[in-house]
Amino acid sequence: MAFAITQSCCADASCVEVCPVDCIHPTPDEPDFGTTDILYIDPDSCIDCGACADACPASAVKPVETLRGGEVVFAELNASFYKERPDREIPKQQTHVRVRPGVPSGLRIAVVGTGPAATYAARELLAASDADVDFVDRLPAAGGLLRAGVAPDHGDTKKVGDTFRWTYAHPRVRMFMNVEVGTHVSHEELLEHHDAVVYGVGAPNDRLPGIEGQELDGVLGATQVVSWYNGDPEVAPTDVQVRGSRVLVIGNGNVALDIARLLLSDPDRLAGTEIADHALEAIRAADVREVVLLGRRGPEHAAFTRPELLTLPDGIELLVEDDAATAATLDAARSEPPLSSNAAVLSGLPRVRTDFSGEPVEGRRLVMAFGRSVVRAAGEGRLESVTLSGPDGEVQAPAQVLVCSTGRQGRAVPGLPFDETRGVIPSAEGRVVDPATGEPLPGAYVVGWAKRGARGGIGANRACAGETVTSLLADAADGVLRAPDRKPKAFASLLSSRQPRLVRSRGVSAIEAAEQKAGRAAGRPRVKLTTIEDLLGAAGRR
């Protein structure tokens, strides 16, 4: 019996590399890699060897006969991907860094950030060279978006962190946490102590839609909400207030679905996850019965991935807001294979006409409304109503919470150029470039969302990191990099003098151990420490 790839797929292509019969697609060398919901196994070619399951860092690969409940659909999803897919015309290529001859030994590389992109870059450097890697992160706890961005009930996806911990504990790795570039150390100082610096700083800011009234209390960015329920210490427990029986969300991508699912979930189900205690208490105390995802375009343009939608937990009724345009699109999609598109998936769902001016009905339901946009948010200091524009004209909907799931953007790093329009550090093949001349800045590299914008999941960062590290090692082989002026110990001394509460590798391990110990006592994967002071206390740096 064949294997199938399920919802927690991180698409880092570890399974592709070990497959002996080339039955997992798309691969990193194929044009649709990074554009599909997940990777897929061809059931007709799979020889049931299990190598892919052993290699998967997210426990996403499972024998078809073991699929149960909502996962059963993945057998069909994997098979349907190959029904009209042409045979491969080019041989499978390796996804590792391509190393040129002549890379000098003893490179010292600083990696800013400890999220997926930064950690994949460090892994590639450690595997492809004898370089020493210094991680620098502004928070005391490692993990970046894996810790603060992945939904707490996606436990299998979070298992990718097990491979990251191997990287943090590598003998050629040093960690310098609770350190911010631009405050405790400059880019120029990093280069004085390292041959090169790789920035994997992500896209930490919300890209808000610019609607009237978005400054009101109760209008929230999706990144803020996600950080809140994940216990990010940079978002206070009181920064997000869950009020009212109906929550409106602009957007219908996976992040919007995550927020809706968590707000509507049975709190007892969430109590077994890594959700922040303050968020669990707020959700338990709230009375959210309905979350409406507002899509500006039609259902054929819905941004969610099918695995995310198809694995909603029991107890949440999934509905589509009924109107003439949506009905026409969904009726036409009924002739398509059931899992071939988002519109086809939605075509079989019940439809409803929501009275946005009244209270939601009893039960817990997620309503997807298309062809609708927010005109304005109104209230005296706090959100009281939202004006919606849609097929029925403008409608004023009472609301106390409006979440804008309209994307993320990067944040400028002092000492580096920044593209304000795109929200990224300008680059070419991972080399940071001067936007005025297009010339690379010696020793400066970028990876992940800070490089390509906030798109692609965890695994997409692996190929992205491979490109950047390939460029870095090529520059090293060509003699482009300038050797650091200072000895390795001097960097540790510098940061110790600038940041008295510097957290090193031992402190990172202590934080991990403290959270896991608390989790075992509570029957959870971990209980997160959600303030800087508590994190520093666990690390012995209070």
| Separation in Å, CA 142 to CA 64, 273, 336 | 35, 19, 45
DSSP letters spanning 228-266: HHTT-TTS-GGG----SSEEEEE--SHHHHHHHHHHHS-
Mean pLDDT of 268-280: 97
Assigned CATH class of 108-204+410-502: alpha beta
H or E, element range at 369: strand 365-370
Q: What percentage of residues in the chain have a pLDDT greater than 70?
A: 98
Residue-level pLDDT at 33: 87
| Mean pLDDT score of the chain | 94
Q: Sorting pLDDT into bands at 50, 70 and 90, what band is 90?
A: low
- Mean pLDDT check: name the lowest of 1-15, 121-135, 251-265, 290-304: 1-15
Asked if residues 199 and 136 have their Cβ atoms less than 8 Å apart, the reply is: no
Assigned CATH class of 3-80: alpha beta
Q: Decide if domain 207-402 falls under CATH 3.30.420.300.
A: no
Task: Say how many CA atoms lie within 13 Å of 312 toward its Cβ.
Answer: 26
Domain spans, the chain: 3-80, 108-204+410-502, 207-402
Structure tokens of 306? 């099918």
Q: What percentage of residues in the chain have a pLDDT greater than 90?
A: 87
- pLDDT tens, position by position, 350-406: 999 999 988 999 999 999 999 999 999 999 999 999 999 999 899 999 999 999 999
- pLDDT tens, position by position, 182-215: 999 999 999 999 999 999 999 999 999 999 999 9
Whether the pLDDT of residue 95 is over 70: the answer is no
Q: Is 412 helix (H, G, I), strand (E, B) or coil?
A: coil
Whether the pLDDT of residue 38 is over 70: the answer is yes
| Residue whose C-alpha is closest to residue 456's, from 170, 168, 117 | 117
Helix axes 254-264, 222-229, angle to 10 degrees: 50
Q: Sorting pLDDT into bands at 50, 70 and 90, what band is 1?
A: low
- pLDDT tens, position by position, 452-478: 999 888 988 998 999 999 999 999 999
Whether the pLDDT of residue 75 is over 80: the answer is yes
- Which backbone phi and psi does 197 adopt, to 5 degrees? -125, 130
Q: Sorting pLDDT into bands at 50, 70 and 90, what band is 98?
A: confident
Asked if residues 25 and 83 have their Cβ atoms less than 8 Å apart, the reply is: no
